[in-house]
Every structure is written in C-alpha cells, then in structure tokens.
Amino acid sequence: MGQRILLVDDEQRILDAMRRTLHGRYEVFTANSGEEGLQALRESSASDTPFTVIVSDMMMPGMDGSEFLGRAHEVLPDAVLMILSGQADLNSTITAVNNANLFRFLTKPVRSPDLWAALDAAQRQYELVVAERELLQLTLTGAVGVLADVLAQASSPAGRRTTRVRTLVTETARRRDLQDDWRLPLAADLSQLGCIAVPTEVLETVEAGGQLTDAERRIFEMHPALAHRLISRIPRLEEIARWIGEQTTVQRLESTGHLEDAEEIFAACVAFMVELDSGEDPRQIVRYLENTDRYSRRVLEAVRLASHGLKAKGTLREVGAVHIHPGMILAEDVVTMTGMVLVRKGEEVNEMLATRIANFARSVGVVEPLRVLTMG
C-alpha cells in the first residue's frame, strides 16, 4: 500500500470501475479533470506522501491528457506518468511522450492483470528514480563536500575561493528559487578544484587583487580546464564538469548567447567573484556582465545582493585552540609557536580544520587565544 496512484478521467463510471479493480493493491485517488488533477498534485507535493504514479485519460474536455501530464511532470517530476485512453491521435501521443516523459500508453478497455503489471512496473521505475536522486543528492554531495574540505587543507586560498563561490551560488539560487537543484552546490564545491595545481603565492595575489605576471596568469587561467578533466571522469557529472571548465573572466568572456537556469547562476557567480577579487565595484561588474548578453539582469542583481554575504559577520570572540568548532570564521591568522602561519584569517572552520588546529596546539603549539567570529 505504499504506492499512491492518481487516476484522472472525465468519466466517473470509468474511475469507479478502476477503483474497484485496484482496491486492496494500491492507494487510489481520482480526479474528473486535468485542473482537478493538478490541484490534487499540488496538495500531494506539499505533503510527505506524494503520488508515485499518475494515470490519465487522453481525450478530456478543457485540458487534454497530454497537457495535463506535461504540467503534472512540472509539479511532481519524480512521479511516473501513464496514459489509459480509448482514443488518441498520433500527434497528441507524441507530445505526451516527449513533453511528459511518458512511461506507458495503455488502451481501453484494459485487462486487470495488464493494468496491475503496468502499475507494478511503474512503481519499480519510481523507486529507481528516487534511488538515483538520493545517490546524487546525498551520497555524491557528501563525497564532494569531503573533497572540498580536503582541498581547503591542501590549499587555504583555494578553500577560501570555494567558500566564496559556495556562498554566492547558494544565496543566488535561493533568490531565484532554484535552491533544490542538486547541481549547484556540487558545482560550487568543485569549482576551484583545479587550483590545487596553482602555487599558493599566485592564488594569494589573485585574492588580494594584485597584479600577476603573464606567466602567473597563464598558470592561474589553467585551473578550470584541469578541473574539467578531473571531474569529467565521474559518471553523471559531465554537465557540471563542462560548467566548471567554461568559467572565465569578463575580459575573456565570449558572447555565446544567454544561458539557462542553474548554469546561468553558476557562471554568473564565478565570473562575478573573479571581478570582485580584482577590486571592481559590484554595480560595475553587473553592467559588464549584462553587456555580454549572457546573463539576465534578474540573475545579476541576485548575485550582487548575494555578494553581501561574502563579508564576514558575527560576534568577535577569543577562544582556545581546542575550543574551535565548525562554523566559526577566523578573524586573524592562526600562527604556530615556531612562527608558521597555519591558517589564514577569513577561513571558515570545518571539522577537518578544527581538528588540525587542535592537533597543532597539542604538539607544536599555537599562539592563543584565537580571535574568531561566531554567529548567534
């Protein structure tokens, strides 16, 4: 009874017959029109028990099955969609298949065993879709997060750049109502992976808005291509690898046409950050980027507003090294008793960094107390 099915048909007698056929095998809900079906889907989407399978008639007054399933796919993208119809023209069928990711097309009258078999297959398809999404969103996202933490330990400037991109992308996505797109946090965390091959001195010069020599600039500008080669080896991340490989500065940006949705947000954020590090005024950066015809004004304004979050905020405190914990931001360099700068100021503390600081405090020793910013 874990399978919640929505049946949509303008003939009540057909709905009643199907309900009797499916009783005891599935949890069945019905709607007499496309509009009524969409309302049921919206309510289901807001609950913790969404519909897993949607079965619709094709020829219905007002909104036909093709249009309904196309809109249903937008409301519940994971739901498996099927058509059960006694009549349908070829064009409507093709539209339903292309626009709604149709799983099965059944014809009336349908034998009960055939309907049961189709619904059981649809449920298995739903479980595969959900499992794949959880793999991408949970397992892969967690692994990439660990990789970003390791990068921050290997190269503090690269870690800081990753944090800045993540901040911009996360807040911009929230402002554009795309915070649920799993690709954006992964792209942000992997965006500076290629910086592992860039000398620390070069990254620090870029971060400070200093001038690079021609040789240093060539080295720095290689990092997106290196990240692309590394990430493209990971299955299902080919699209994200392309985004990262194409990140660039305003000066080198070619007008290749307007981007769409999540890719636009990511590309705008990384281009904005590079120019911001160069000392450009945020409003001027918006004008530069808008003139490329690559980004919409709405997205650029969202990035500009999101950039306010790059400024360190919080309450200034002094703590011992062993009391450092994730979420704090270092307000000054962490220096060992031998004079080595262990971590630069501005770094956000994660679990790995907190452990590293505590370990150095117990062995080599660090200058204490540490000045940090804490939220709340």
pLDDT score at 31: 95
Q: What's the chain look like in SS3?
A: CCCEEEEECCCHHHHHHHHHHHECCEEEEEECCHHHHHHHHHHHHCCCCCCCEEEECCCCCCCCHHHHHHHHHHHCCCCEEEEEECCCCHHHHHHHHHHHCEEEEEECCCCHHHHHHHHHHHHHHHHHHHHHHHHHHHHHHHHHHHHHHHHHHHCHHHHHHHHHHHHHHHHHHHHCCCCCCCHHHHHHHHCCHHHHHCCHHHHHHHHCCCCCCHHHHHHHCCHHHHHHHHHCCCCCCHHHHHHHHCCCCCCCCCCCCCCCHHHHHHHHHHHHHHHHHCCCCHHHHHHHHHCCCCCCHHHHHHHHHHHHHHCCCCEEEEECHHHCCCCCEECCCEEECCCCEEECCCCECCHHHHHHHHHHHHCCCECCCEEEEECC
For the segment 301-305, the average pLDDT, to the nearest whole number, is 93
Question: Which residues in the chain are classed under CATH 3.90.105?
Answer: 315-374
Name the percent of the chain lying above pLDDT 90: 41
Question: Which residues in the chain are classed under CATH 3.40.50.2300?
Answer: 4-130
Q: Does the structure show a pLDDT above 50 at 143?
A: yes
Cα 187 to Cα 189: distance, rounded to the nearest angstrom: 6
Q: Which residue has the higher pLDDT, 203 or 88?
A: 203
Here the tokens at position 266 are 């990511």
pLDDT score at 370: 93
Q: Does the structure show a pLDDT above 60 at 126?
A: yes
Q: What is the mean pLDDT of the chain?
A: 86
For the segment 130-154, the average pLDDT, to the nearest whole number, is 81
Amino acid at 260: E
pTM, to two decimals: 0.64
pLDDT score at 240: 93
Here the tokens at position 244 are 């990262």
- CB environment 56-84: b (16+ within 10 A), e (fewer): bbbebeebbbbbbbbbbbebbeebbbbbb
User: Cα-Cα-Cα-Cα dihedral of 299, 305, 307, 313, to 10°?
Assistant: -150
Residue range 12-45, pLDDT digits in tens: 999 999 888 888 888 999 999 999 999 999 988 8
pLDDT score at 251: 46
Cα 246 to Cα 127: distance, rounded to the nearest angstrom: 34
* CATH of range 4-130; options 1.10.10.10, 3.40.50.2300, 3.40.50.300, 3.30.70.980: 3.40.50.2300
Q: Is omega for the bond preceding 157 within 30 degrees of 0, making it cis?
A: no
Q: Does the structure show a pLDDT above 60 at 255?
A: no
Q: Does the structure show a pLDDT above 80 at 262?
A: yes
pLDDT score at 337: 93
Residue range 188-231, pLDDT digits in tens: 999 999 999 999 999 988 887 888 999 999 999 999 999 999 99
Residue range 272-283, pLDDT digits in tens: 988 887 778 888
For the segment 312-334, the average pLDDT, to the nearest whole number, is 87
pLDDT grade for 92, boundaries at 50, 70 and 90: low
pLDDT score at 1: 46
* CA within 13 Å, CB half, 360: 21
Tell the CATH topology of 315-374.
Molybdopterin biosynthesis moea protein, domain 2 (3.90.105)
User: Considering only 129-138, 200-209, 243-252, which range has the smallest mean pLDDT?
Assistant: 243-252
For the segment 123-134, the average pLDDT, to the nearest whole number, is 86
Cβ neighbours of residue 20 closer than 8 Å, sequence gap 6 or more: none
pLDDT grade for 48, boundaries at 50, 70 and 90: confident
